Amino acid sequence: MFTVIPIAWYMGTLARNDPSKGIWMTAHKSIGITILLLTLFRIAYRTKTSAPELPETFSPQDKIAAHAAHILLYFILLAMPITGYLMSVLGGHPVNWFGLFEIPPGLQIDKPSGDVFHLLHKVGQWVTYAVISIHLLAVAKHVKSGNGILERMWPGKLGR
């Protein structure tokens, strides 16, 4: 996420006919598709294995807030690449994964629908910034309180 977003900002500054625009666009799309695949893998794994319980120091409200925020994070991790992909293929633009192969579009070109997903992708960025900001503020709060939430992300910390 910390690469796909700055690349999007940078490519937005380039003129339509800038020769490097295509490379940045391919990088943005390819990283975005990779995020989608990793997220699908993560969700499949997450449904098969239960996540570690939140510590007892969390109030019931804290637990609800954490779960809600994590659901929103998963939502943007799916919605942003899906809207990006649909905007591209419906608009008739190929999606090439790191220049290695073209992802079969699987859909007919339909520019009006492509425009709708374009708008959703553009608006979705603000939801993305908001949700990530909240997440990072929560991480900072946990680090400050020294409750070990950040440390337990490290493999082996929970005996896994």
Region near ligand HEM per CB under 6 A, out of 56-64, 105-113, 132-140 = 132-140
Q: Per CB under 6 A, does 4 bind ligand HEM?
A: yes
- H helices of the chain, in order, are 4-13, 21-48, 60-90, 111-145
Cβ neighbours of residue 41 closer than 8 Å, sequence gap 6 or more? none
95 contacts ligand HEM (rule: CB under 6 A): yes
Residues with Cβ < 8 Å from 97, sequence gap 6 or more?
A: 29, 30, 33, 34, 103
The residue within the footprint of ligand HEM, chosen from 122, 133, 137, 141 (CB under 6 A), is: 122
Which residues here bind ligand HEM, judged by CB under 6 A?
A: 1, 4-5, 8, 12, 28-29, 32-33, 35, 46, 51, 70, 73-74, 76-77, 80-81, 84-85, 88, 95, 121-122, 125, 128, 132, 135-136, 139, 149-150, 152-153
